[in-house]
Structure 1
Amino acid sequence: MSIRTITIPVTDLGKARAVYRTLLGIEPYVDQPYYVGFRPEGAPELGLDPHGNVAAGPITYWHTDDIESAVAALVVAGATPERSPHDVGGALTATVRDADGNLIGLFQPSS
């Protein structure tokens, strides 16, 4: 697994889009009401999520080829399931919490 996506929960997608467009100096590769994604060269994807939990802060997503196995292995290691794998535009995401309550995201790209 590797970190390839960091998702930032936002309350105002338009304002956040403008800030991150300016910060990164690039246009988003996807710009939808449910997600705005940027792919800066040499860095993980940065996504803006208008439906995320702003109080929880950004979520780092580890990409995996088998999200079910990854979640199961993390639970055996002591993580607590937060949100089971679910479809997000053809891909799957899930979250677990480590022993200190930190959120860990998992992402399985569509095949």
Structure 2
Amino acid sequence: MSSGINTVIYHVADLDRAKALFGTFLGVEPSTDSSYYVGFEFDGQQIGLVPDAKERGFTGPVCFRDVPDIAAAHQALLAAGAESDEEPHDVGGGLMVSSVKDADGNVIGLRQLP
């Protein structure tokens, strides 16, 4: 089982098209296949597709990148035009996280390991 992100949800406009693409990408058939949710079990993770991108305005999932200096990386993204979503902070045991939003509202996550 993964100790990282165990569920990733993609909000899609065309569920059938996304299902075909993710089935090819992951190399597995859906474990759940309905008109409101398609889920794939892959290497201990659940990859889900929800057909509400147009209604909800979602542009994609949030991914976190490991960086050696979270404060510097956060500031660099702000200098590049991002808006702070969550300032760098310790979430326990020295693990630091932060996030910013790009001009389109997409959330970009940063993580610094202890």
TM-score normalised by length of structure 1: 0.51
Indicate the structure whose relative CO is greater, using CA pairs within 8 Å and at least 6 residues apart.
Answer: 1
Opposite residue 23 of structure 1, the aligned amino acid is E
Measured against aligned partners, the alpha-carbon deviations of 1:69-108 in whole angstroms (never above 9, x if no partner) come to 0010000000000000111222000000011110000000
Q: Which residue of 2 aligns with 1:24?
A: 42
Measured against aligned partners, the alpha-carbon deviations of 1:44-93 in whole angstroms (never above 9, x if no partner) come to xx8xxxxxxxx877310011000000010000000000000111222000
- Equivalences, count: 70
The structure number with the bigger radius of gyration is 2
Distance 1:7 1:76 in 2: 32
Distance 2:77 2:91 in 1: 21
* Structure 2 residue ranges without an equivalent (≥5): 10-31, 33-39, 47-55
Distance 2:5 2:43 in 1: 17
* Structure 1 residue ranges without an equivalent (≥5): 11-18, 27-37, 39-45, 47-54
Aligned sequence identity (%) = 39
8 A Cα contact 1:84 1:94, kept in partner: yes
| Cα distance change of structure 1 residues 63 and 25 upon mapping to structure 2, 3 Å threshold | closer
TM-score normalised by length of structure 2: 0.50
